[in-house]
């Protein structure tokens, strides 16, 4: 099954077509985001893999706000058998889960959770390396090819320490810096209320989708990219792609039953220390050009995912 993040990037996908037809206006929102974010605070060091680094900081920020975050996706990646690191991965995940065994969940998946509070005595470097290792394991589940993954440097006899050693020092330093900035600029902006991380939606049964975090009805998508192209002086402005907005809208619409009581959407630009928030009704009205009926739109979007997307995927060869 495809994923929301893939479909919004395919301009011919029924998902992207529907979202951009129903919500055509976005450039003003992009411009406001760019101005409000201000200058880039943390540049990405040379040699860093952006995708892996982004997934790593996602894990770390989830651990800051969720007392029991899921590490199921790294486990699913490990169980895929695509890399010779089963022993190392089992050791690490077993330690993080404090000995708890994975459990089967509805749909044939597995669940495994960790308790960050149990590792409060560990230093920043350990946390950074753990999160990077988890990001690498997730790639075994999500990436089309893992031929050049650093995990291929490991062997069947490798241990957890070898897995933790795959992050380079520059990546560790960068992750610590992003964590520190988020502690200052993100955490204080989260509303009080229930916190959920790595959550799926009702519509995830129709199209794979898992978001970063929800706090008190605010859904936050974490972006750790560099921003736009470098200016003449080397600085960069924050960027908010049309696909980023489509992703936020998609998450909202895939919560068919309003399970999470979402009322606000947000993007946290990790290298700018900027948290942008939009009430759902306001963002929807601005992008649609009219007031929105969220219940009706959720039903329409479900029909797109169930009726229009499958034949398109078949045509695409999926």
Per the CB < 8 A criterion, the answer to whether 214 and 252 are in contact is no
Q: Please, what's the b/e burial string for 19-36 (b: 16 or more CB within 10 A of its CB; e: otherwise)?
A: bbebbeebeebbeebbee
* Residue 267 clears pLDDT 90, i.e. is over it: yes
pTM: 0.94
Token look-up 């859904």 returns: 219
Mean pLDDT of the chain: 96
Q: Which of 135, 167, 199 is the last residue of a domain?
A: 167
Q: Which pLDDT tens digit goes with each residue over 178-203?
A: 999 999 999 999 999 999 999 999 99
Span 54-83, pLDDT tens digits: 999 999 999 999 999 999 999 999 999 999
Whether residue 32 sits in one domain with residue 55: no
Query: In the 8-state DSSP scheme, what is residue 213?
Result: E
Please check whether residues 18 and 53 belong to one and the same domain: no
Judge if 208 and 116 occupy the same domain.
Answer: no
pLDDT of the residue at 83 = 97
- Helix/strand/coil for 300: helix
Q: How far apart are CA 23 and CA 83, in angstroms?
A: 42
Q: Are residues 35 and 82 in the same domain?
A: no
Q: Does residue 182 form part of some domain? A: no
Task: Tell me how many domains the chain contains.
Answer: 2
Cite the DSSP H helix spans in the chain.
Answer: 4-7, 14-22, 27-37, 50-65, 72-79, 86-96, 124-142, 160-164, 169-185, 242-254, 280-288, 294-303, 309-316
In a domain, 173, yes or no: no
Residue 292 in domain:
yes
In a domain, 177, yes or no: no
Establish if 172 belongs to a structural domain. Answer: no
What does the pLDDT read at residue 235? 79
The answer to whether position 263 is within a domain reads yes
Shared-domain flag, residues 300 and 197: yes
CA 270, 173, 70, 5 torsion-angle sign: positive
**Model pLDDT for residues 277-311, shown as the tens digit of each residue:** 999 999 999 999 999 999 999 999 999 999 999 99
For the cut 90, the answer to whether the pLDDT of residue 255 exceeds it is yes
For 140, the domain range is: 49-167
Which among 36, 104, 53, 35 has a CA at the least distance from the CA of 223? 53
The conformation of residue 157, written as its DSSP 8-state character, comes to T
């Amino acid at each position: 099954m495809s994923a929301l993040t893939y479909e919004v990037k395919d301009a011919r996908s029924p998902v992207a077509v529907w979202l951009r037809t129903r919500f055509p206006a976005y450039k003003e929102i992009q411009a406001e985001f760019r101005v409000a974010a201000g200058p880039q605070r943390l540049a990405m060091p040379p040699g860093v893999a952006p995708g892996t680094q982004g997934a790593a900081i996602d894990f770390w920020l989830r651990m800051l706000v969720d007392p029991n975050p899921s590490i199921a996706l790294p486990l699913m990646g490990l169980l895929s058998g695509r890399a010779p690191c089963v022993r190392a991965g089992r050791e690490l995940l077993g330690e993080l889960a404090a000995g708890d065994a994975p459990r089967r969940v509805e749909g044939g998946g597995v669940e495994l959770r960790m308790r960050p509070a149990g590792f409060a005595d560990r230093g920043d470097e350990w946390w950074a390396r753990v999160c990077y290792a988890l990001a690498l394991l997730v790639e075994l589940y999500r990436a089309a090819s893992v031929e050049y993954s650093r995990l291929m440097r490991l062997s069947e006899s490798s241990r957890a320490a070898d897995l933790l050693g795959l992050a380079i020092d520059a990546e560790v330093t960068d992750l610590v810096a992003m964590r520190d900035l988020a502690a200052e600029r993100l955490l204080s902006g989260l509303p009080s209320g229930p916190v959920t991380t790595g959550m799926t939606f009702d519509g995830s049964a129709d199209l794979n989708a898992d978001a970063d975090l929800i706090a008190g009805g605010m859904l936050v998508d974490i972006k750790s990219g560099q921003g736009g192209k470098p200016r003449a002086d080397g600085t960069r402005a924050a960027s908010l792609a049309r696909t980023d907005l489509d992703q936020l809208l998609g998450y909202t619409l895939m919560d068919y039953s309003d399970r999470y009581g979402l009322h606000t959407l947000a993007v946290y630009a990790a290298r700018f220390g900027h948290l942008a928030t939009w009430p759902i009704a306001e963002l929807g009205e601005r992008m649609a050009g009219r007031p929105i009926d969220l219940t009706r739109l959720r039903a329409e979007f479900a029909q797109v995912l169930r009726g229009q997307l499958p034949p398109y995927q078949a045509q695409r060869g999926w």
